[in-house]
Structure 1
Amino acid sequence: MASNKYLKLKNKWVDKHRRISESLWTKHKKHLNWLSENSKQLAVGSLGSLILISSPGAQNLNPNQTVKTEEQSLIDKSTFLITDLKNILPSEIRPLTSDEEASVSAVLSRDFNMNVRPEIEEKRLNRSYGLIGAEQHLARYPGDTMSSHFDSQEETSLYYSSGMAPGLGAWRYFANSKESMTEEENLREKYYIAVQTFLAKDFSQRFAEYRDFFRFRKMLLVNPDNGRAIVTAIGDAGPAAWTGKHLGGSPEVMSYLERYDGAQRGPVLYFFIDDPENKIPLGPVK
């Protein structure tokens, strides 16, 4: 009886890792081909070790065999993050359970070395996993226009076509003037997100409290399909529930996460960052 139970568990484990391996190849063929072609230089020796390392017995690897190049380490990190999240997230895009949120928080906090949480000060959004849509640029200060909005010609070429929203963000301007604008205020707009603050529990009853809490609050966004992560600031409220989208990202946020609007839109994780001393910078997490 015990033998049959063990065999069933073993077969389940093998099948699970086979499916993970197939999924990784489908979504990350380019990077994994590079790993396979350079296997002689890898500490783990082959692509199969990517799955082996995350399985029981990996601790028996010789520490002297774990020297890797920076590029290999980055690939390994994103690969294992993708695998870990795949083991937690549901197949459908829905609000996560408390247990799922706790597991995701632990993974993100560990991998990105920051305190990532679905709730802070007993306040939370209506969900932490959902579909993201594209937002336009927001005016940073009175008089800000598309011609004055970008720091370089490269940024203009990449993001000018997104245009500027006709209205201001939920907290109006990010800075009082162009002259007084700090780099942090500039980055808050550059890496802003719009979240459904109005759907948070008790928002209507405690409007002023929640308004101040959400204002420019830092959140970590992660694309679970490619492992890309970015530190953002809540800069607007939305999108409306009828759109079918659960949050929106600035053109720069969408570009870095490799997420798109319309029929190709996909999900992201979005969790609060507990950063009371404001030490974690806004922008892509490398």
Structure 2
Amino acid sequence: MLNLFKKDKKNSKHFQTLSEQLEKRKSIVLEEFKGKHKEAISWAKKKGIKPSEIAQKGAKGLAVTVATSAMVLSAGVAPSGQLPSKELEVKKEINRQVAGSDVEVLIKARKDVSPQVKKALSRVNLYDEKKIEKQLSKILKVPVKAQLDGIRLNATYGIMGYESHLARFPGDNLSTHFQSEVEYKRFAKASMAGGPGAWGYIAPSQKDLTSKDIEKEKYYLVAQTFLSPNWGTSQAKDWFRHRKMVVVNPQNGRVAIGVLEDAGPEKSTGRAFGGSPEIFEELDLFNSGPRVLMYFVDDPKDNISLGRYGI
């Protein structure tokens, strides 16, 4: 792959350090890859390739070895033995085409914006929507809006409740819901909600479930759409479905992108929003407290990925 891996380099101190870090991270990368690239894993299985063997399938395999190398560079191991430049850390982008399929794997390293977000929000009133729109749009480089297309929620700051997993299709349950054993161990304790969200099932059946559908439920959000000043028309109800939103934990600056899939909680609970178990973990709300900011993301072309932003 690189000259670092030639035989005459194997005795160098740098090679040993790089090799050890690659090995430590390989299992983590494979689990993340399986969760995020279901189609690629499905293709690999049809070809008789196990996920654990992907890294050995060469540069035209599923790019896990390349992804691992990128992660090690992000961790600070540079060929010179010095830390990589900030420009390299922020702009690294690797594109590889999976051999024999139309699945493209994109690994893009972003700068962690949590410190910037935390600092910016510490200086503003968390109910000041105009200032927060401006600050978040500038830092995240995406259009963040309290009101979009003339529609808004009843609140942009409040307590987020911990939600159960939604049934994505009829018959979805804990045994069909997760993409790996690691995911099951981490999130099965949240149990199933017992049905779909307010707008019905995300997919009509398990065979129709796509990777995008999986992401929608994984990072789903709940808002009191019924308390919106725009509520009361069929147009407003349809507009809210799958609506992309940004959620920010002002205590630590963590940011996640999710979509509205359910309506609630009841006003009497004192909560303004709800979030999936994965959203809660990404924002570290159990340790920081459940108060969040939640704004619309203006993304008509669906270019912004769901999940933790900046990682």
TM-score normalised to structure 2 length? 0.63
Is the contact between residue 132 and residue 265 of structure 1 (CA under 8 Å) also seen in structure 2? Answer: no
Q: Which has the higher contact order (CA 8 A, sep 6+)?
A: 1
Residue type at the aligned position of 1:87: R
Q: Which residue of 2 aligns with 1:107?
A: 135
1:78-97 correspondence runs (5 A): 78-90=114-126, 96=127
Q: How far did 1:260 drift?
A: 3.1
Is the contact between residue 136 and residue 164 of structure 1 (CA under 8 Å) also seen in structure 2? Answer: yes
**SS of alignment partner, residue 123 of structure 2:** helix
Q: For residues 125-174 of structure 1, what are the alpha-carbon distances to aligned partners after superposition, in whole Å with 9 as ceiling and x for unaligned? A: 00111111100000001111110100011100000010001232101101
What 5-or-longer segments of structure 1 have no aligned partner? 1-40, 43-65, 91-95
Q: Which residue of 2 aligns with 1:269?
A: 293
Is the contact between residue 169 and residue 196 of structure 2 (CA under 8 Å) also seen in structure 1? Answer: no
Q: Which residue of 1 aligns with 2:202?
A: 174
Residue type at the aligned position of 1:162: A
Q: Which residue of 2 aligns with 1:227?
A: 253
Residue type at the aligned position of 2:204: N
Q: For residues 183-210 of structure 1, what are the alpha-carbon distances to aligned partners after superposition, in whole Å with 9 as ceiling and x for unaligned? A: 1111110100110001000313x2x111
Residue type at the aligned position of 2:299: D
Given the superposition, is the C-alpha separation of residues 273 and 146 from structure 1 closer, same or farther in structure 2, using an over 3 Å criterion?
same
Q: For residues 236-255 of structure 1, what are the alpha-carbon distances to aligned partners after superposition, in whole Å with 9 as ceiling and x for unaligned? A: 00000000110000000001
Residue type at the aligned position of 2:125: L
Identity rate, percent: 38
2:218 to 186, 190, 199: 190
2:172 to 144, 161, 168: 144
What 5-or-longer segments of structure 2 have no aligned partner? 1-81, 91-109
Alpha-carbon distance between aligned partners in 1 of 2:304 and 2:89, rounded to the nearest angstrom: 22
* 1:282 has 2:306 as partner: yes
1:120 to 139, 148, 158: 148
Q: Which residue of 1 aligns with 2:160?
A: 132
1:189-228 correspondence runs (5 A): 189-204=217-232, 206=233, 208-228=234-254
Alpha-carbon distance between aligned partners in 2 of 1:273 and 1:135, rounded to the nearest angstrom: 22
Given the superposition, is the C-alpha separation of residues 142 and 83 from structure 1 closer, same or farther in structure 2, using an over 3 Å criterion?
same
Q: Which residue of 2 aligns with 1:15?
A: none
Q: Which residue of 2 aligns with 1:162?
A: 190
Is the contact between residue 239 and residue 245 of structure 1 (CA under 8 Å) also seen in structure 2? Answer: yes
TM-score normalised to structure 1 length? 0.69
**SS of alignment partner, residue 253 of structure 1:** helix
Q: Which residue of 1 aligns with 2:45?
A: none
* 1:251 has 2:287 as partner: no
Alpha-carbon distance between aligned partners in 1 of 2:230 and 2:137, rounded to the nearest angstrom: 27
Residue type at the aligned position of 2:151: K
Is the contact between residue 130 and residue 246 of structure 1 (CA under 8 Å) also seen in structure 2? Answer: yes
Given the superposition, is the C-alpha separation of residues 157 and 109 from structure 1 closer, same or farther in structure 2, using an over 3 Å criterion?
same
**SS of alignment partner, residue 206 of structure 2:** coil
**SS of alignment partner, residue 269 of structure 1:** strand
Alpha-carbon distance between aligned partners in 1 of 2:308 and 2:116, rounded to the nearest angstrom: 19
Q: How far did 1:177 drift?
A: 1.1
Alpha-carbon distance between aligned partners in 1 of 2:273 and 2:129, rounded to the nearest angstrom: 18
Given the superposition, is the C-alpha separation of residues 67 and 121 from structure 1 closer, same or farther in structure 2, using an over 3 Å criterion?
closer
Is the contact between residue 152 and residue 230 of structure 2 (CA under 8 Å) also seen in structure 1? Answer: no
Q: How far did 1:67 drift?
A: 5.6
Residue type at the aligned position of 1:84: A
Alpha-carbon distance between aligned partners in 1 of 2:290 and 2:248, rounded to the nearest angstrom: 11
**SS of alignment partner, residue 248 of structure 1:** strand
Alpha-carbon distance between aligned partners in 1 of 2:124 and 2:216, rounded to the nearest angstrom: 30
Is the contact between residue 133 and residue 265 of structure 1 (CA under 8 Å) also seen in structure 2? Answer: no
Q: How far did 1:182 drift?
A: 1.2
**SS of alignment partner, residue 202 of structure 1:** coil
Alpha-carbon distance between aligned partners in 2 of 1:216 and 1:273, rounded to the nearest angstrom: 12
